[in-house]
Chain A
Amino acid sequence: MTPSYNERRAVLTLVVLIPIAIVVFTLNFLNAWSVRQSTNIVDVSASEKNAVITISQTGTEAAIMGVGQARVRLKPGSYYIEAHSAGKSASKILRVTRGSPIDVPLKLIPVSSPVASQDTITYNGFGELAENGFSTTQVLNLKQLFFTYNKDAKTVRITTNTIKNGARDPNSTDPAFTLTFSGYIDSTSFNATVKYTGFEMVELTITNPVSGVMLFNGALPELGTAD
């Protein structure tokens, strides 16, 4: 039976697609072969199944390898591999060479928070400072200064009825305003004097309320870093 026009067209389409598919397959194969020859398999397994495994190299961005475990191909070189889970982490410098697959077990151990910040402290009474002309940035800078003074503190509390505006000499050219107040860092009392200028600058001085000894003096932004 003579093939119909539609049948001839269908066969022709398949016959044309086959060489195209062979070319694509060959290119894909050659590319995969090249990658295979230039890399080695690295198996990373973390002791916590929900640990996020990351990798970086000097001069590159970091990348996520996987969660719990990862099986990847890496080019020869030195890599930094890290796994982190809630409150735990593990890391290893890995030197990849060609050859047998490399196993990298990572046993996670508890660590402290990697980024200590002012957010770990609870601040009470700081809202009152806005009533005395503090900008939002100045309040943040003041919190940062308290944190700089004692990053282990849990609570910094201003006794709001002790907030007083400092005297201003009408003939002075100093643009700074001054506030004084008392309060507690956790259960330890303090006296504070704050000088503030513009919308950002804050200088904090903390003194011992009994002895009057200065415990801390700092300013933000640091000199030369203000915009």
Chain B
Amino acid sequence: MNPGINYKRLVPPAVVLAVIIIALMLTRSVMFGGARPISLTAADPLVGRISQALATGNSTELAVPGRDYTLKNTTYFEDKTWVVTTIAPVGGSSYSGMVVLHKSDKVYDVVLGPGTAFSSTELGTLPNNIVLYIKAHGVVYDPVI
């Protein structure tokens, strides 16, 4: 205790300051209704959905474009409604394969892959020009009879 200070005189401004600091800490939580705002980092149109498709198991890490994989030979079809691209691994990652995406409600969804080989039956629902493109890239196989 400092003998030169009457602590009672400090209580009112200290309380005011404490209230402001507590209010500062609670403001965002109260105003957001306990919800955390999410802001997504701008990137190539396809990488977000592809990183999600590459996630497996209970891993809480997502593949990062540029660090874990890159996209090659990206080809759009039918006014960018369909797109076929190839995932190429970067460094020691094991991410690889071809993936087909379809745009619906402004969002690309993965409809085939990622994979390094597909059976003919898996291509059944895709438009003909995309089937031909995939076959031309040698990733279609027919199971051993």
B38 touches A73 (CB 8 A): yes
A64 touches B49 (CB 8 A): no
**Nearest neighbor of B140 in chain A, beta-carbon distance:** A148
**Does A175 count as interface, using CB distance less than 8 angstroms?**
no
B20 touches A151 (CB 8 A): no
**Does A119 count as interface, using CB distance less than 8 angstroms?**
yes
- How far does the Cβ of B8 sit from chain A's closest Cβ, in whole Å? 10
Bound-state CA distance A129–B14 (Å) is: 78
* Segment of A30-38, A164-172, A196-204 in the binding face: A30-38
- How far does the Cβ of A3 sit from chain B's closest Cβ, in whole Å? 7
**Does B91 count as interface, using CB distance less than 8 angstroms?**
no
- How far does the Cβ of A156 sit from chain B's closest Cβ, in whole Å? 11
Q: Mark A76-91, 1 if CB is under 8 A from B, else 0.
A: 0111101011110001
- How far does the Cβ of B41 sit from chain A's closest Cβ, in whole Å? 5
Residues of B within 8 A of A61 (CB): 40-43, 47-48, 51, 62, 64-65
Bound-state CA distance A71–B103 (Å) is: 26
- How far does the Cβ of B29 sit from chain A's closest Cβ, in whole Å? 9
- With A65-B38, A148-B117 in contact, do A32 and B32 touch (Cβ < 8 Å)? yes
**Does B105 count as interface, using CB distance less than 8 angstroms?**
yes
**Does B4 count as interface, using CB distance less than 8 angstroms?**
yes
B28 touches A22 (CB 8 A): no
How many residues of chain B are within 8 Å of chain A by beta carbon? Answer: 69
A-side interface size class:
35 or more
A28 touches B28 (CB 8 A): yes
Residues of A within 8 A of B121 (CB): none
Residues of B within 8 A of A214 (CB): none
Closest 9 CB pairs of A and B: A56-B48, A4-B4, A60-B40, A14-B13, A21-B20, A62-B51, A73-B37, A116-B115, A62-B48
26 contacts across the A-B interface (CB closer than 8 A): A4-B4, A4-B6, A11-B10, A14-B10, A18-B16, A24-B24, A32-B31, A36-B31, A36-B32, A50-B58, A62-B48, A71-B36, A80-B49, A80-B52, A82-B53, A86-B58, A91-B109, A93-B107, A115-B56, A115-B115, A116-B116, A116-B117, A147-B117, A149-B144, A153-B144, A222-B138
Residues of B within 8 A of A (CB): 2, 4-6, 9-10, 13-14, 16-17, 20-21, 23-24, 27-28, 31-38, 40-49, 51-60, 62, 64-65, 94-97, 103-109, 114-117, 119, 137-139, 141, 143-144
